[in-house]
Structure 1
Amino acid sequence: MKKEDKESVERYLKKIALIQSSGNAFFKFETPEERKENIAKAKKDIKYCVERYFPHYATAECAPFQIYWANKVLKDQGFTGFAKWGRGLAKSVWNNVIIPFWIWLNEGDNYFVLISVSEKRAVRLLEDIRAEFEANPQIIADFGEQKNLGSWNETLWVTKGGFIGQALGFGQSCRGLRVGAKRPKQYNIDDLETKQTIKNEKRQDEMVEYVEEELLPSMDGEAERLTISNNWFAPKMFVKTLSAKHPDWFVHEVKAYDKVTYEATWTSKYKPGYYKRKEQKMGISAAHAEYNHEPKLKGGKHFKSEYIQWKKPPRIDHYKVVSGHWDIAYAGNDTSDYNAVRVWGLKEKDFYLVDCFVKQTKMAPAVKWMCDFQKSLPNGVVVLWRAEAQFWNDEVKRTISEVQEEEGVTLNITLVQNKRKKYDKIIFELESRYQNGRIYYSEKLKSHADTEVGLQQLYGIEPGYSGKDDSPDADAEAIGFLSKHITATSSGSGQYQSGNYKPSNNVI
């Protein structure tokens, strides 16, 4: 036996052993009438179905989003949709095992086809449910032996109770698929796209064509369910193209956690602090991509990753001027704008990002951060705080007043008027300066989460962009302001020189 085949057999036997060890102790003393009632209950209640047949998967209580999705797929025999769930939310278990089984339990049969990036990968995914039918003690107790020795190939198998499982790799023809008179009733596409395929747009177009021209026509009956379970982790993916082409297909988006509070969506599985530790280990952009469908960008038309220069910054008292701009946001939830405070220093004709706060919080944490930054400055160093007047209201003033009193700090924030469009302002103030190497980031901020959020927003600035822009907007304001202090006699000595700047009387 080849090493690869031996490892495959050993892996499958381990799955069998796990399933058999789960036992059916809770239900083994049922009377025939109780068994009948409980089977009927499992047909109606997916949570109970999981507890009865899949206790080895039920290490955490079923999440509401999982229950919602299962019910939606079962109730609509023509269902087509995307399980856009973050990593770790059990997409494969639910779409390759639990839901296909539940459909079979309710409808009496199911011809389930699992498609993945290769046949080998598809076989490995499909063997999870094959092992259940072969060894699950509760399934056997309720419905009898299901393994059909004459039809138990790893790529195509048929149970005695009418479940058909088939594994296909991308590109394998779906045309003419049938077992006897039966045609596929349910497809799940799982992990068809990987970090390798997203680099090939031609391959993505082929995937879309495969679904539309090969897969969908191969279903022919009342039941024609299609689910697609794949992380949406990159800017361009076949699932995004497919979704855009078919706006009537259901997209069930579930983020793994709240970026503001770090509360897990699947609370019974992931405890407080879990995702915060993930961000610290992986980096915030990678975590947001894998768990919350926010692609990690590396640069676009205007701002590219190679423009970012990391450098040991000058001493804080060696800048000609230090200015911090606050882009104000009110709500503080994971769909709101960001409170972005970007502190920049000017030395000679170059601009240095000294520190920053970029979070989807309410205003108070941003104000406290500014107070803490100001308190950290050595004697004689002043930071000029600025904010756009259009966002100023009584609630902003009240928040600032309360935090300043608590912290014993007066920020002296200057209000500025700006009527330029954000996109125009960002391009005008930043693009040429990045291209000409005039902008530097403190090397101390390389692993700083808020800095990374700011970079992701910067990379997303494109014509017609729809992403967040609070951080680059604050940068444009701060750098535009500092540029007014560049004079022909600039010495970078640390002495404050006004240049052409006239202080505003509009100071809070």
Structure 2
Amino acid sequence: MATSRQKADKQRAEEYLKKLEIVRKANDVNPFETKAEQKARIERAKVDVAYFVVSYLPHYATADCAPFHIDFATMVKEDPLFKGCAEWGRGLAKSVWCDVIIPLWLWVRGEEVFFCLMSDSKERAQELLADVQAELEGNPLLIHDFGAQKCEGDWEIGNFKTIDQRFIGMAFGIKKKVRGVRVKQRRPNLWVIDDLETPDTISNPKRMRKQSEQVERDIIPTMTGPIRRMLYANNKFARVMTQTMLQEKHPHWKVHQIKAYNKATHEPAWKSMYTKEYYIEQERDMGIVAAYAEYLHETKLEGTIFSEDQIQWANIPDFREFKMIIVHWDIAYTDNEKSDYNSVKAWGLHETDFWLVDCYVKQSKMKMAVQWMCDFKKRLPEGVNVIFQYESQFWNGEVQRAIEEVEYETGISLNLIKINTPHSNKTMRMITMQPYYQNSRIFYNDKLKSHSDTQVGIMQLCAVEEGNTEHDDSPDADQQAISKLELYCTPKRKEGKSWWKTGKMKRSIELP
């Protein structure tokens, strides 16, 4: 009866044969090609990585190479001591480039490549390394231009050498000892760390510190020659990871961070592969917090003052039951991904509780924020008390023009009120909301749970603390609205208690 290890080996072999089958059909060799044409292709492939991909790896070229792909490969090629991270958003082909394209391109350029690949387990590393191994064994055009590479007897999955030993590949799991790795006199000269983090490591800072130390003390010292490159392939889906610890300790290492799309416009970084609509759909399906973490490296914040656990989601009362609704607009003038947010927060007072009724939180043009306010007012039933306001310091001709244009187009008059904001510390003003959260007097409309603008607002709220450099337009708007609602709030009267009036004489007041 086969053991579990034998079954795993058999499965790995079957998967490798499938890869090999794909590679063998990847390209064709022109039997009528001249030696001059062949030489021209080889020479161009050595200097043009995009051409190399299209010519030799067309099965990976399902879309044109993005400029950031080429930039990263060029940086690696030009620096024999390169240390850095391909910190690209999910789906941007970081494993393909770091594990297959770049190692093969360096080899085609004439370098001797001793390639070691590490992942969270040896099995995963073997699976990743098998991609480049299959190319060396079965790619028809690579074989035609550079000769047969498979070395019988030295072609184990996860541990192989080409016939001339110009390319050596080894796979390691993070727990595998790597000290002293060598083949005869040869030492590794290219390490790639890929897909290292797991849910266990992310929740265990001690494990991550140990892994970062392993990279420093075990992996890097295995390389001793004039070429000592190390690539780390992973998106930054958590605030603290092994790679962020390494980046903090080694500021001279290159962090090539690419966001998959512009969150203000949804324009993709890899335009030939993805569309704006794809990322809009991903935000809707995954939720804004997960999408920002996976694609934009913007992760959920664990607040030191505010936390998501304090938010109470509930079915919102009828709008006519609110004493007052305040809609505060925190104005931003531009709409690029580095600009402030146009934040419009609608808060209502119900009895003595504050309710987030609806919101608009986007890096957008002012006109879109005004359109949202007009639409919000149009949706309110008759008889609702509502005030629209904004900070007077933001007022200028451009703001007035945006308001007038939208009011004219929609036929809605907002009657926006200018308010003066105290010049006290803004962070401390926002922190004044904390007692309301602690005392369960803050409620969020449960229909906003999957609303992307609401989730962005929560992320900004959780980031509020002294020294914070994150955007805070949304919690600032929250505080402005709630502070105005406080004027309409009267304490609950407790049954059975006498209220006293102090003057020349004291008497009991009968409460209705």
Do the structures match in fold with TM over 0.5? yes
> What is the aligned partner in structure 1 of residue 24 from structure 2?
20
> What is the aligned partner in structure 2 of residue 166 from structure 1?
170
1:239 aligned to 243, 246, 264, which one? 243
1:294 aligned to 287, 298, 301, which one? 298
> What is the aligned partner in structure 1 of residue 36 from structure 2?
33
Structure 1 residues 91-106: aligned runs within 5 Å: 91-106=94-109
Structure 1 residues 402-417: aligned runs within 5 Å: 402-417=405-420
> What is the aligned partner in structure 1 of residue 500 from structure 2?
none
> What is the aligned partner in structure 2 of residue 494 from structure 1?
none
Verify: 1:213 aligned to 2:217, yes or no: yes
> What is the aligned partner in structure 1 of residue 380 from structure 2?
377
- Deviations for 1:464-493, whole angstroms, at most 9, x for unmatched residues? 2221111111111111110121124799xx
Verify: 1:327 aligned to 2:330, yes or no: yes
Structure 1 residues 348-497: aligned runs within 5 Å: 348-418=351-421, 419-428=423-432, 430-488=433-491
Asked whether the 8 Å contact 1:80–1:226 carries over to 2, the reply is yes
> What is the aligned partner in structure 2 of residue 187 from structure 1?
191
Instruction: Quote how far apart the aligned CAs of 1:444 are.
Output: 1.1
Match of 1:114, SS? strand
Instruction: Quote how far apart the aligned CAs of 1:153 are.
Output: 1.9
Instruction: Quote how far apart the aligned CAs of 1:397 are.
Output: 1.4
- Deviations for 1:311-366, whole angstroms, at most 9, x for unmatched residues? 11111111001001111111111121111100010011100111000111111100
Residue segments in structure 1 that go unaligned for 5+ positions in a row: 492-508
Q: Quick one: which amino acid aligns to residue 442 of structure 1?
A: N
Match of 2:460, SS? helix
Asked whether the 8 Å contact 2:332–2:365 carries over to 1, the reply is yes
Instruction: Quote how far apart the aligned CAs of 1:55 are.
Output: 0.5
Instruction: Quote how far apart the aligned CAs of 1:379 are.
Output: 1.9
Instruction: Quote how far apart the aligned CAs of 1:401 are.
Output: 1.5
Cα distance in 1, alignment partners of residues 42 and 493 from structure 2: 82
> What is the aligned partner in structure 1 of residue 158 from structure 2?
155
Q: Quick one: which amino acid aligns to residue 330 of structure 1?
A: Y
Judged with a 3 Å threshold, the aligned counterparts in structure 2 of structure 1 residues 488 and 457 are, in CA distance, closer, same or farther, namely closer
Cα distance in 1, alignment partners of residues 163 and 339 from structure 2: 53
- Deviations for 1:432-456, whole angstroms, at most 9, x for unmatched residues? 1111100001111111111111111
Match of 1:208, SS? helix
Cα distance in 2, alignment partners of residues 28 and 371 from structure 1: 69
Verify: 1:338 aligned to 2:341, yes or no: yes
Asked whether the 8 Å contact 1:42–1:49 carries over to 2, the reply is yes
Asked whether the 8 Å contact 2:187–2:224 carries over to 1, the reply is yes
1:176 aligned to 180, 183, 186, which one? 180
> What is the aligned partner in structure 1 of residue 52 from structure 2?
49
Q: Quick one: which amino acid aligns to residue 91 of structure 2?
A: G
Cα distance in 1, alignment partners of residues 31 and 122 from structure 2: 38
Instruction: Quote how far apart the aligned CAs of 1:218 are.
Output: 1.3
Q: Quick one: which amino acid aligns to residue 59 of structure 1?
A: T
Task: Answer with 253-262 or 373-382: which moved more.
Answer: 373-382
> What is the aligned partner in structure 2 of residue 501 from structure 1?
none
Judged with a 3 Å threshold, the aligned counterparts in structure 2 of structure 1 residues 253 and 28 are, in CA distance, closer, same or farther, namely farther
Judged with a 3 Å threshold, the aligned counterparts in structure 2 of structure 1 residues 113 and 318 are, in CA distance, closer, same or farther, namely same
Structure 1 residues 41-80: aligned runs within 5 Å: 41-80=44-83
Match of 1:150, SS? strand
Cα distance in 2, alignment partners of residues 68 and 489 from structure 1: 64
Q: Quick one: which amino acid aligns to residue 212 of structure 1?
A: E
TM-score normalized by the length of structure 2: 0.93
Asked whether the 8 Å contact 1:63–1:266 carries over to 2, the reply is yes
Task: Answer with 387-396 or 276-285: which moved more.
Answer: 387-396
Asked whether the 8 Å contact 1:348–1:490 carries over to 2, the reply is no
Cα distance in 2, alignment partners of residues 394 and 174 from structure 1: 65
Instruction: Quote how far apart the aligned CAs of 1:29 are.
Output: 3.3
Cα distance in 2, alignment partners of residues 483 and 12 from structure 1: 67
> What is the aligned partner in structure 1 of residue 505 from structure 2?
none
Cα distance in 1, alignment partners of residues 466 and 161 from structure 2: 53
Instruction: Quote how far apart the aligned CAs of 1:271 are.
Output: 2.5
Judged with a 3 Å threshold, the aligned counterparts in structure 2 of structure 1 residues 488 and 48 are, in CA distance, closer, same or farther, namely closer
Instruction: Quote how far apart the aligned CAs of 1:296 are.
Output: 2.2
Match of 2:92, SS? coil
Q: Quick one: which amino acid aligns to residue 262 of structure 1?
A: H
> What is the aligned partner in structure 2 of residue 500 from structure 1?
none
> What is the aligned partner in structure 2 of residue 313 from structure 1?
316
Cα distance in 2, alignment partners of residues 420 and 116 from structure 1: 50
Asked whether the 8 Å contact 1:112–1:186 carries over to 2, the reply is yes
Cα distance in 2, alignment partners of residues 188 and 422 from structure 1: 45
Cα distance in 2, alignment partners of residues 135 and 420 from structure 1: 69
Verify: 1:279 aligned to 2:279, yes or no: no
> What is the aligned partner in structure 1 of residue 114 from structure 2?
111
> What is the aligned partner in structure 1 of residue 205 from structure 2?
201
Match of 1:276, SS? helix
- Deviations for 1:247-283, whole angstroms, at most 9, x for unmatched residues? 1111111111111221211111112301111111111
Match of 2:360, SS? strand
The alignment of Structure 1 onto Structure 2 pairs a total of residues equal to 488
Q: Quick one: which amino acid aligns to residue 226 of structure 2?
A: E
Asked whether the 8 Å contact 2:268–2:276 carries over to 1, the reply is yes
Cα distance in 1, alignment partners of residues 258 and 492 from structure 2: 56
- Deviations for 1:269-320, whole angstroms, at most 9, x for unmatched residues? 11230111111111111111101101123x3221122211111111111100
> What is the aligned partner in structure 1 of residue 497 from structure 2?
none
Cα distance in 2, alignment partners of residues 177 and 390 from structure 1: 64
Residue segments in structure 2 that go unaligned for 5+ positions in a row: 495-512
Judged with a 3 Å threshold, the aligned counterparts in structure 2 of structure 1 residues 481 and 219 are, in CA distance, closer, same or farther, namely same
Q: Quick one: which amino acid aligns to residue 215 of structure 2?
A: V
Question: Aligned-pair RMSD on alpha carbons?
Answer: 1.5
Verify: 1:124 aligned to 2:124, yes or no: no
> What is the aligned partner in structure 2 of residue 135 from structure 1?
138
Asked whether the 8 Å contact 1:232–1:289 carries over to 2, the reply is yes
Q: Quick one: which amino acid aligns to residue 49 of structure 2?
A: I
- Deviations for 1:193-243, whole angstroms, at most 9, x for unmatched residues? 123211000011111111111111111111011111111011111211111
Asked whether the 8 Å contact 1:82–1:229 carries over to 2, the reply is yes
Asked whether the 8 Å contact 2:343–2:359 carries over to 1, the reply is yes
Cα distance in 2, alignment partners of residues 486 and 237 from structure 1: 45
Cα distance in 2, alignment partners of residues 455 and 49 from structure 1: 46
